[in-house]
Amino acid sequence: MAGDSEEERDGFNHMTLRIPGLLYVSVKMENPNLTLSGDLLPHVSGSFPLGPSWDPSKALSMERESATVWELSFVVPPNHEALEFKFLLKPKCIDNPCFVEEGSSRVLVGGAWQDGDRMALFRLDNDQVLEYRVFVEAKRISPFDLAASWRAYQENFRLSSVRGIPDVSINSEHQTGSENISSANLELDLEHYIVPSPSTSPSSALAYAANSTENPRSLGGGSASISSSMGDDGVPMINQPETVGEVHAPDQSKVYQSPGMVKSQSVGTICPPEKEGSLRGVSIDRGVGFPRLVKSSSSDTFTTNFNLDPGTKNSIPAAAGAVAAAAIADQMLGPKEHRHLAIVMVSLPARGKTYTAAKLTRYLRWLGHNTKHFNVGKYRRLKHGSSQSADFFRADNPEGVVARNEVAKMAFEDMISWMQEGGQVGIFDATNSSKQRRNMLMKLAEGRCKIIFLETICNDVEIIERNIRFKIQQSPDYAEVPDFEAGLRDFKERVAYYEKVYETVEEGSYIKMIDMASGHGGQIQVNNISGYLPGRIVFFLVNTHLTPRPILLTRHGESRFNVRGRIGGDSALSEAGELYKKKLAKFVEKRLKSERAACIWTSTLQRTILTAGPIVGFPKIQWRALDEINAGVCDGMTYEEIKKNMPAEYESRCKDKLRYRYPRGESYLDVIQRLEPVIIELERQRAPVVVISHQAVLRALYAYFTDRPLQEIPDIEVPLHTIIEINLGVTGVEEKRYKLMD
């Protein structure tokens, strides 16, 4: 250290005596009057080791240390005699001239400052004078210190200096670089930027989730078949076969200890996380999303051992994503009936059964579990028509009871048949509100599948009233009833008949969601729940809620690698990307202006962090889990180069882009697996979130919200400079797209 020869002033060390040995030098400039300096950036130009020449174009830029102080540090070798340097101000626009400080050059000899001026004076074009205070600090460092700090620099400093902001940050004013906003101005009305969403996206949250559930096999439905929608004549329309389902487990070693693993033999209560009042100061463990794992067996080894060929039907789940060794072990080693799981919904009408069943189905499918939703109401409508009045649902109407039990049995048997063909999780959606009905189901399930009851209880009369009104609007039961009030009366009568005979679940394995829609947290009770998958289901349900909020998904602004067609890497933004980041900031400002809280999530790659740069007023969080698919040895190559130099790899990826894993990199399935905590966190958040990430990652996130089959994920279109707004609402998911630039 130089402590023995320094003179302290203004908090900086001004050297007067030479320090022998290797030196660490820090020079700083301070300009308290920021408004004068405009967009002039301080630089240093000098002799070795500051630069090979005095050429201003090779001057080193200083880093902004605080709002008014700029800093540059460097190492001077031990045998170096004199170091000469000068400060420069360079305009951001490279075409404009730069300004060199007045007076002779500054000289440092062995770290001692040869009495240079303590002010740097710049005379600008218009004879305006800018003054900066100058500080120099020199410390002797040992080669060991240097080696250690070099390592630290390699590991940390370079990253944070490139990125310029810490993992969790918030900027309350526009950063340098976000000026010159005029070209980034947006129309007053954001609707101006709306472009059509792809036809496969969820058309409207008002579409009733039961419509897209399974059809009776007796009607030619089966495991993959007829449509969710009804034709004008009431006859189901034939649609595409369902493609979701069987895929390889990506890597059985890739299991991380998840909070989803719950074992409970007796009744326990879990309270969901508190509602977030404000997101400011939020801190997130960046490790989340990076499973602690050992890369070992490939999916090939796994599938050979356990005969999990995606093309063959078998009784073992063909799983992906977070479904890994634990899930498979449960399936392989547990009792035979445990290889298939039936989630049997229980509740009075209008308590969110179909909504919850549809959401859980979407989540499990996205993780790679072969899951289907069987809605008994749909079976009833197809068998008995959709114009049954409340009387049909009276417990003392024997014909109604027989008819309802018959369709319930039919749907349950269909579900079991599908499981025997390889299906893994069946979600059985009916009121199942009496012990007698549940006993019937348990008998049907004996030795064939494990049952977990999922009961939704709601004590909030206002929510029940709102739900009932939704049902009249959405349910095909009332599609033919022109008078809304008459429909309302009939449905309330139906609910009252159910209430008379309703028995809460007290038997078997169950999960009870109590008042989870109230917005005050509610609670979840679990009884006799164990195993990987039930644990995941409980964890998912604890974190979901009904608070409406938008999630804005966007890729980073165009990167320099994008321009050159190179994949991966960590390049900065192109000119178009720079413009997009400014437009995006304006968009976010307008779109979220009425929100009390919101959060900006980026990956740890600089193209997303730079894109988030000009957004002000909201906390920004970097997630490693949001980093782009790791292209391994192909990182930085163009697709053409991969095709030419690694034709076999290129070919394999074309054949199966979902499962293909780049050598030393990742597959899409790997990406989905690491995104699972991101999905849980997105479900848990109550405020809007802006996710600035990458093509492959956003494909996977988008597929979750829009219930797209895994196989389609690698080809989903996620264009640059476009914002995909996902609105999570009380009735489901709706999508809007804004295109800010061509």
Ligand X SMILES: O=P(O)(O)OC[C@H]1O[C@@](CO)(OP(=O)(O)O)[C@@H](O)[C@@H]1O
Active site residues: 429, 458, 556, 628
Q: Which x/- pattern over 608-637 shows residues binding ligand X (rule: CB under 6 A)?
A: --------------------xx-x------
How many whole angstroms separate alpha carbon 494 and alpha carbon 466?
A: 16
Residue pair 526/496 in contact by the 8 Å Cβ criterion: no
Helix (H) or strand (E) holding 152, with range, is: helix 143-152
We find the least distance from the C-beta atom of residue 525 to ligand ADP, in angstroms, to be 13
Residue 491 or residue 623: which is nearer to ligand X going by CB? Answer: 623
* Closest-approach residue to ligand ADP (CB): 352
* Closest-approach residue to ligand X (CB): 694
Q: DSSP assignment, residue 336?
A: G
Q: How many residues bind ligand ADP (CB under 6 A)?
A: 21
- Sorted by sequence, the CB contacts under 8 Å of residue 739 that are 6+ apart come out as 193, 195, 719, 721, 722
- The bridge status of strand 689-693 relative to strand 549-555 is parallel
The answer to whether 714 contacts ligand X (rule: CB under 6 A) is yes
Candidates 72, 344, 513, 629; binder of ligand ADP (CB under 6 A) is 513
Nearest Cα neighbor of 618 from 695, 552, 674 is 552
User: 558 labelled as ligand-binding?
Assistant: yes
Nearest Cα neighbor of 407 from 429, 422, 389 is 429
Nearest Cα neighbor of 689 from 609, 602, 604, 628 is 602
Candidates 355, 650, 660, 705; binder of ligand ADP (CB under 6 A) is 355
Nearest Cα neighbor of 590 from 188, 110, 256 is 188
Residue 45 or residue 695: which is nearer to ligand X going by CB? Answer: 695
The answer to whether 525 contacts ligand ADP (rule: CB under 6 A) is no
User: 183 labelled as ligand-binding?
Assistant: no
Report the C-alpha dihedral over residues 109, 113, 116, 117, rounded to 10 degrees.
Answer: 160
Start-to-end CA span in the chain (Å) = 56
User: 651 labelled as ligand-binding?
Assistant: no
- Sorted by sequence, the CB contacts under 8 Å of residue 548 that are 6+ apart come out as 727, 728, 729, 730
Q: Phi-psi category of 205—alpha, beta or left, where left has phi over 0 and alpha has psi -120 to 50?
A: alpha
The answer to whether 554 contacts ligand X (rule: CB under 6 A) is no
Of the candidate spans 245-253, 466-474, 552-560, 575-583, the one that interacts with ligand ADP by CB under 6 A turns out to be 466-474
Of the candidate spans 192-200, 344-352, 411-419, 650-658, the one that interacts with ligand ADP by CB under 6 A turns out to be 344-352
How many whole angstroms separate alpha carbon 146 and alpha carbon 143?
A: 5
Residue pair 63/70 in contact by the 8 Å Cβ criterion: yes
We find the least distance from the C-beta atom of residue 207 to ligand ADP, in angstroms, to be 11
The answer to whether 502 contacts ligand ADP (rule: CB under 6 A) is no
We find the least distance from the C-beta atom of residue 574 to ligand X, in angstroms, to be 11
How many whole angstroms separate alpha carbon 212 and alpha carbon 356?
A: 14
User: 555 labelled as ligand-binding?
Assistant: yes
The answer to whether 470 contacts ligand ADP (rule: CB under 6 A) is yes
The answer to whether 207 contacts ligand ADP (rule: CB under 6 A) is no
How many whole angstroms separate alpha carbon 533 and alpha carbon 511?
A: 13
Partners of 133 in the beta sheet?
30, 119
User: 560 labelled as ligand-binding?
Assistant: yes
Q: Say which entry of ligand ADP, ligand X, none residue 353 contacts (CB below 5 to 8 A, set by partner kind).
A: ligand ADP
The answer to whether 516 contacts ligand ADP (rule: CB under 6 A) is yes
Residue 528 or residue 544: which is nearer to ligand ADP going by CB? Answer: 544
The answer to whether 730 contacts ligand ADP (rule: CB under 6 A) is yes
Residue 339 or residue 394: which is nearer to ligand ADP going by CB? Answer: 394
Of the candidate spans 222-230, 257-265, 388-396, 456-464, the one that interacts with ligand ADP by CB under 6 A turns out to be 456-464
The answer to whether 606 contacts ligand X (rule: CB under 6 A) is no
Partners of 574 in the beta sheet?
none
The answer to whether 353 contacts ligand ADP (rule: CB under 6 A) is yes
Residue 355 or residue 650: which is nearer to ligand ADP going by CB? Answer: 355
Q: How many CB atoms lie within 10 A of CB 655?
A: 9
Q: Give pairs for 327-334: CB < 8 Å, separation 24+.
A: 327/369, 327/532, 327/533, 328/249, 328/252, 329/532, 330/531, 330/532, 330/533, 331/424, 332/306, 334/531
Candidates 351, 556, 586, 661; binder of ligand ADP (CB under 6 A) is 351
Task: Copy the structure tokens of residue 721.
Answer: 């400079």
User: 624 labelled as ligand-binding?
Assistant: no
User: 106 labelled as ligand-binding?
Assistant: no
DSSP calls for 470-534? HHHHH-GGGTT---HHHHHHHHHHHHHHHHHH-----SSEEEEEESTTSSS--EEEEESB-SHHH
Residue 607 or residue 736: which is nearer to ligand X going by CB? Answer: 607
Q: Say which entry of ligand ADP, ligand X, none residue 467 contacts (CB below 5 to 8 A, set by partner kind).
A: ligand ADP
Q: How many CB atoms lie within 10 A of CB 707?
A: 21
Handedness of CA 273, 671, 711, 301 (dihedral sign): negative
Which residues ranging from 262 to 291 are in contact with ligand X (CB under 6 A)? none
How many whole angstroms separate alpha carbon 740 and alpha carbon 722?
A: 6
How many residues in total does the chain contain? Answer: 742
Task: Copy the structure tokens of residue 650.
Answer: 């290129």
Residue pair 464/458 in contact by the 8 Å Cβ criterion: yes
Q: Say which entry of ligand ADP, ligand X, none residue 568 contacts (CB below 5 to 8 A, set by partner kind).
A: ligand X
Residue 108 or residue 567: which is nearer to ligand X going by CB? Answer: 567
Q: Which x/- pattern over 579-618 shows residues binding ligand ADP (rule: CB under 6 A)?
A: ----------------------------------------
Q: Say which entry of ligand X, ligand ADP, none residue 178 contacts (CB below 5 to 8 A, set by partner kind).
A: none
Residue 318 or residue 692: which is nearer to ligand X going by CB? Answer: 692
Candidates 353, 372, 694, 721; binder of ligand X (CB under 6 A) is 694
Query: How would you list the strands of the sheet with 509-514, edge to edge?
Result: 268-270, 523-527, 509-514, 450-457, 341-346, 425-429, 371-375
Nearest Cα neighbor of 94 from 134, 43, 32, 50 is 43
Residue pair 67/26 in contact by the 8 Å Cβ criterion: no
Which residues ranging from 527 to 586 are in contact with ligand ADP (CB under 6 A)? 546
We find the least distance from the C-beta atom of residue 733 to ligand ADP, in angstroms, to be 12
Q: How many residues bind ligand X (CB under 6 A)?
A: 13
Residue 439 or residue 459: which is nearer to ligand ADP going by CB? Answer: 459
Residue 494 or residue 581: which is nearer to ligand ADP going by CB? Answer: 494
Q: How many CB atoms lie within 10 A of CB 346?
A: 26
How many whole angstroms separate alpha carbon 56 and alpha carbon 91?
A: 12
Q: Is 122 exposed, middle or buried (0-12, 13-18, 19+ CB in 10 A)?
A: buried
We find the least distance from the C-beta atom of residue 345 to ligand ADP, in angstroms, to be 7
User: 412 labelled as ligand-binding?
Assistant: no
Candidates 37, 356, 509, 554; binder of ligand ADP (CB under 6 A) is 356
Of the candidate spans 91-99, 343-351, 394-402, 697-705, the one that interacts with ligand ADP by CB under 6 A turns out to be 343-351
We find the least distance from the C-beta atom of residue 162 to ligand X, in angstroms, to be 16
Residue 43 or residue 351: which is nearer to ligand ADP going by CB? Answer: 351
Which residues ranging from 557 to 576 are in contact with ligand X (CB under 6 A)? 559, 561-562, 567-568
User: 494 labelled as ligand-binding?
Assistant: no
Q: DSSP assignment, residue 175?
A: P
Of the candidate spans 100-108, 270-278, 348-356, 690-698, the one that interacts with ligand X by CB under 6 A turns out to be 690-698
Q: Say which entry of ligand ADP, ligand X, none residue 694 contacts (CB below 5 to 8 A, set by partner kind).
A: ligand X
Residues that bind ligand X (CB under 6 A): 555, 559, 561-562, 567-568, 628-629, 631, 694-696, 714
Residues that bind ligand ADP (CB under 6 A): 347, 349-356, 456, 458, 463, 467, 470-471, 513, 516-517, 546, 730-731
For the annotated binding site for substrate, the residues are 555-562, 607
For the annotated binding site, the residues are 555-562, 607
